[in-house]
Amino acid sequence: MFPQYDLIVVGAGHAGCEAAVAAANMGSRVLLATMNMQTIAQMSCNPAMGGVAKGQIVREIDALGGYSAIVTDETRVQFRMLNRSKGPAMWSPRAQSDRMQFAWKWRLMLEANPNIDFWQEMITGLVVKGGQVRGVRTGLGLEIESKAVVLTNGTFLNGIIHIGEKQFGGGRAGERAATGLTEQLLELGFESGRMKTGTPPRVDGRSLNYERMEVQEGDPEGGRFSFTPTRTPEKQIPCHVTYTNAKVHEVLRTGFDRSPMFTGRIRGMGPRYCPSIEDKIDRFAQRDSHQLFVEPEGWDTCEVYVNGFSSSLPEEVQYKALHLIPGFENAKMFRPGYAIEYDFFQPTQLQAWLETKRIKNLFFAGQINGTTGYEEAAAQGLIAGINAHLAIHDQEPFVLKRSDAYIGVLIDDLVNKGTKEPYRMFTSRAEYRILLRQDNADLRLTPLAESIGMQGLEQRMQRVREKEEARDAIMQFTRELSVAPEQINTFLQSKGSAPLKQKVKLHNILSRPHIEMQALCSVLPELNRFLQAYDEECISLATIDLKYSGYIEKERELVEKMNRLERVALPENLEYQKLRGLSAEAREKLLAIRPRTLGQASRISGVSPADISVLLVYLGR
């Protein structure tokens, strides 16, 4: 009934979809197996993509040939560039999407790819022979053959949903949990753990009083995630902001004795940065108000997502508390919030290219690796899909460095440090934040993706060349154009910047704070004329590279320094147990992870600089 596939992807969430597309666009024959074809690319939590650090990841996915950015652009109901005031390294795109259109658009894009087949059934086991995965086994008892498998099971593995004192098996509201896989993986020697996440109630927008809330509009100029010319809707719809208060907290507290969190029924570790509302009240008792974002679920539906009110308290407590929130006095609830516990596998069991160390050609991506977030999942899916294709063609794995991409930071953290709580990306995690900007993701990554044979990058590559040429030309121009004091001093004084005493080259003026290229056009007609030939993205890139040049250069030096450690190979059979200078923790971690380079070893949690010195001494440096 089935051909022999190159790759079977289990699960069709953000990770699964990107994995399928990446492998298919590399040339693999892919089967995408999902329990329910109606829920392909479901946004299980809030209807939004991007945000600080996550927006950068979506841009990187696009630069590498993934589809998340395109789908988001075409189905977005609102776009904002966050952190505008904080410097270009921090600019982070974020979009609200129409939840149903998002999933539908993804499905159409997958269907448009002739290399992707679909199968709707629960996958209950793997076919493993001789330490290598050979296919999957389905709930009906079918065996489907493949050369590689990517597991992207999300929250479905032995998922248990909690609402107050009630609990039931499920992978998402209204959907079954997946069983069988965890048990088989444990038999194969993997170690699993439990994690927990939660989601807020959904309410009926027709029952809300928006007059009592603050309005949060999208950016009037709009914006895009993809480096391809996607068609973004012209209109946008606003979100709203409201706040909890002491009375709300009081009502919520009445449910604490029935909270699965506080009564210990949930043992899985939840994210510290995405706490439930009861968690916030409990841990930060001194605050009597918390902000809530009221987010529309789409263009036409009246369903509304109450961001910030994640809860697993009994549904009637949620309902009562909601009613005390300004604007929610008459709110009708569509469904209560809930917490969900699920199995994950400590990602230190993976290679840097997301293949498991135990079973060849078996890859893990997404929440199964202990991460949270659509963006983090999609990024891993993409990398797993690429590497599954490379593995079955005996090609070198594709590994992004921490200095290449947030995706590099993400995977490097996962495989070396593991995680105790659902892992979310923050810009703070990246050492080279100034290099890893959202505006240059394509410059950083598209050529890399092209070099490994990713198809469909022609448009992006052409754009990369355009941007680079434009940037170089503009920078050259600013180095050559002389500016006289009489041309510019009035302008400089109006910006609070010191006047010129003699002629200087334009780039010297641009390196001053608060002096922007576009603003200078008004006083420098030559510049204005020159820039006519370039679009805003190119001008902005040149400005950033100019203004940040000192920092960019220093950061590159740091990368080079770090890469020196990356080039020091550690022998695969190094007997860490014999190096007495190592701390017990470091020894244990090094034995388990077996880093390939000293650089990798330095990032393993529990391995201190003193331990690295011991390794350096041992290696004779």
Q: Which is nearer to other proteins, 56 or 152 (CB)?
A: 56
On whether the CB atoms of residues 328 and 292 are closer than 8 A, the answer is no
Interatomic CA distance for residues 77 and 234, integer angstroms: 9
Structure token digits, residue 388: 């599954």
CB 566 within 8 A of CB 599: yes
Q: Is residue 460 a contact partner of residue 446, using CB atoms and an 8 Å limit?
A: yes
Residue closer to other proteins by CB (options 319, 551) is 551
CB of 618 to other proteins, least distance (A): 6
Q: Which is nearer to other proteins, 327 or 381 (CB)?
A: 327
DSSP codes joined into one string, 548-614: THHHHHHHHHHHHHHHHHHTSBPPTT--GGG-TTS-HHHHHHHHHH--SBHHHHHTSTT--HHHHHH
Residues that bind other proteins (CB under 8 A): 51-53, 82-83, 85-90, 94, 271-275, 280, 283-284, 287, 290-293, 307-308, 417, 426-431, 433-434, 513, 551, 580-583, 605, 608-610, 613-614, 617-621
CA torsion sign for 270, 271, 272, 275 is negative
Measured distance CA(319)–CA(338) in Å, rounded:
13
Rounded CA-CA distance 448/312 in Å is 44
Q: How far is the CB of 311 from other proteins (least distance, A)?
A: 12
Nearer to other proteins, 10 or 552 (CB): 552
Cα–Cα distance measured from residue 172 to residue 177, given in angstroms and rounded to the nearest whole number: 8
Listed in sequence order, the residues at least 6 apart from 362 whose beta carbon sits closer than 8 Å to its beta carbon are 126, 128, 133, 148, 149, 151, 355, 356
Cα separation, 51 vs 93, in Å, equals 6
d(CA 392, CA 148): 7
CB of residue 279 to other proteins, shortest distance in Å: 8
Please, which residues have CB within 8 angstroms of residue 199's CB and are 6 or more apart in sequence?
44, 45, 173, 310, 337, 338, 340
Q: What is the smallest separation between the CB atom of 489 and other proteins, expressed in angstroms?
A: 20
Query: Is residue 328 packed enough to be buried (19+ CB in 10 Å), middle (13-18) or exposed (0-12)?
Result: buried
Residue 66 main-chain phi, psi, to 5 deg: -75, 170
Q: Closest distance between other proteins and the C-beta of residue 405, in Å?
A: 16
